[in-house]
């Protein structure tokens, strides 16, 4: 079956990695657990169609089991809620409505489930513009300085798809900011929560070129700047800066290897981020993943 297919959750469902490949019975069910994270609750309907009968919404913080994901015309994803029984029905599958819960090693130990709060670092030179509420016309407040580490407790989606992040900590910077990779950079969680010093790492990130024809490279971030030799497939590079152009396109500045310095488009179909670790190359896991056809 070698070839290319569309990578959508309605076509391919990613399989968890078993601790021992010789024990396939350890592979978990495709059912996934989510928590409702939208303040007004998840709007629920009898069927996946958006014109089906409207039902009572699922309240904020309710944990649910999703048994099926369907894609509507236009690409919208709908999730079928199987549990709790009183909330069975269909809801929109968006990160601003349902947040996927990690699988606990032992269901009898729910305290091991990680908090949904995430840590970010401000990476925009002029600081993160902050407002009192998620609305873009709400009161403007003091900006959050470059390199400040913050805790995001909620993410909201505005009309038009813009994402806003609610800063919970530090207390003096509470408020709302735009959630863009050019403004907030997510900080990887350290596996040892009691050893924060081990999570320190350099700001530059490592990527691998994954586009077959190589990454198209230019002398500057502007798309009309001089075109230079592309970066070949499978080349590992260091990105030292990410810039956002008008229209929201992201550009990455390649710092290493020296012979490939320049700017390329930052898209998952062009550059794939490598997991950071003390020994970069040996520690990097295989890019290969296992999927099951579910369409």
Q: Which CATH architecture has domain 205-273?
A: Roll (2.30)
Q: Are 184 and 217 in contact (CB under 8 A)?
A: no
Examine domains 12-100 and 118-186 and report if their fold is the same.
yes
pLDDT at 74: 79
The average pLDDT across 233-253 equals 89
Handedness of CA 205, 273, 268, 270 (dihedral sign): positive
Among the listed ranges 50-64, 90-104, 107-121, which one has the minimum average pLDDT value? 107-121
Work out the number of other CB atoms within 10 angstroms of the CB of residue 150: 22
**Residue 86 scores a pLDDT above 90:** yes
pTM: 0.33
The top-level CATH class assigned to 12-100 is: mainly beta
Q: Residue 40 has which token pair? A: 């007004």
pLDDT tens profile 262-280: 999 988 889 988 876 443 3
**Residue 27 scores a pLDDT above 60:** no
Handedness of CA 66, 69, 73, 75 (dihedral sign): positive
CA distance 284 to 276: 8
CA distance 125 to 130: 14
**Residue 60 scores a pLDDT above 80:** yes
The CATH number fitting domain 118-186, selected from 1.10.287, 3.30.360, 2.30.30, 3.30.70: 2.30.30
All structural domains of the chain with their residue ranges: 12-100, 118-186, 205-273
pLDDT at 149: 93
pLDDT at 36: 92
CA dihedral 95, 10, 44, 74 (to 10 degrees): 80
Backbone angles phi, psi at 181, to 5 degrees: -65, -15
The average pLDDT across 54-76 equals 90
Which of the four pLDDT bands, split at 50, 70 and 90, describes residue 283?
A: very low
Q: Are 150 and 90 in contact (CB under 8 A)?
A: no
Averaged pLDDT score across all residues of the chain: 80
């Amino acid at each position: 079956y070698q070839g290319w297919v569309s990578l959508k959750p309605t076509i391919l469902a990613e399989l968890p990695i078993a601790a021992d490949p010789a024990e396939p019975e350890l592979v978990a069910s495709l059912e996934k657990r989510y928590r409702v994270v939208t303040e007004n609750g998840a709007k629920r309907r009898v069927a996946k169609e958006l014109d089906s009968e409207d039902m009572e919404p699922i309240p904020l913080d309710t944990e649910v089991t999703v048994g099926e994901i369907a894609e509507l015309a236009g690409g919208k994803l709908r999730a079928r809620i199987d549990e709790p029984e009183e909330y069975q029905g269909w809801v929109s599958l968006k990160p601003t409505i349902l947040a996927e819960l990690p699988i606990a090693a032992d269901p009898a130990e729910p305290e091991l489930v990680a908090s949904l709060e995430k840590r970010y670092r401000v990476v925009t030179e002029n600081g993160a513009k902050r407002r009192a509420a998620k609305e873009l016309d709400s009161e403007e407040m003091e900006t959050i300085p470059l390199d400040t580490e913050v805790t995001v407790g909620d993410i909201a989606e505005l009309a038009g798809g813009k994402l806003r992040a609610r800063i919970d900590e530090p207390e003096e910077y509470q408020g709302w900011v735009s959630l863009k990779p050019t403004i907030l950079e997510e900080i990887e969680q350290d596996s040892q929560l009691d050893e924060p010093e081990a999570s320190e790492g350099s700001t530059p990130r490592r990527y691998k070129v994954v586009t077959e024809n190589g990454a198209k490279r230019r002398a500057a971030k502007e798309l009309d700047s001089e075109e230079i030799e592309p970066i070949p497939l499978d080349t590992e590079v260091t990105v030292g800066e990410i810039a956002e152009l008008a229209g929201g396109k992201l550009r990455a500045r390649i710092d290493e290897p020296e012979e490939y310095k320049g700017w390329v488009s930052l898209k998952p179909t062009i550059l794939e981020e490598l997991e950071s670790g003390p020994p970069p190359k040996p520690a990097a896991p295989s890019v290969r993943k296992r999927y099951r056809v579910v369409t």
